[in-house]
Amino acid sequence: MLDRAAENILPPKPGVGYKPQHFSNILADPDPVSWLEIHAENYMGDGGRPLAQLRHLAERFPVSVHGVGLSIGGEGPLDRDHLDRLR
C-alpha cells in the first residue's frame, strides 16, 4: 500500500494513532506529530477520501501499519485472501 525506504524508520518519539477525522488538525499543526500508526484493514478498500488523505500524510510523516485481522499464529490456516488485500 504505502512504501517507505528502509532508512525511513520511525523516529524515537511518540506517534499518533491516525483517524481520518484528525486529518485537518494534523495539517493545521503538524509539529507535535512524529509519525502515524494506522490499522491496515481500515484502508483495504478501493480508494476514497480516507485513503487519499492517508497518502497525502504519508508524504510528510512515517507511517506504521498495524494489522488486526490476519490472526497469524492462530489455530486456523493463514488467510491468503486477507493477505493479498493488504498488498
Position 8 in a domain: no
> Residue 3: inside a domain, yes or no?
no
SS (HEC) of 41-58: HHHCCCCCHHHHHHHHHH
Give residue 9's identity as a one-letter amino acid code. Answer: I
**Band of residue 1 on the pLDDT scale cut at 50, 70, 90:** very low
In the chain, the amino acid numbered 58 is A
Give per-residue pLDDT as tens, 5-21.
545 577 777 888 999 99
Q: Is 80 part of a structural domain of the chain? A: yes
Give bridge partners of residue 63 from the DSSP assignment: 36
Range of the domain at 43: 16-86
**Number of structural domains in the chain:** 1
SS3 1: coil
Note whether residue 4 is domain-resident: no
**pLDDT, tens digit, 9 for 90 and up, residues 21-70:** 999 999 999 888 899 999 998 888 778 999 999 999 999 999 999 888 88
The arrangement of strands across the sheet holding 36-39 comes to 16-17, 36-39, 63-66
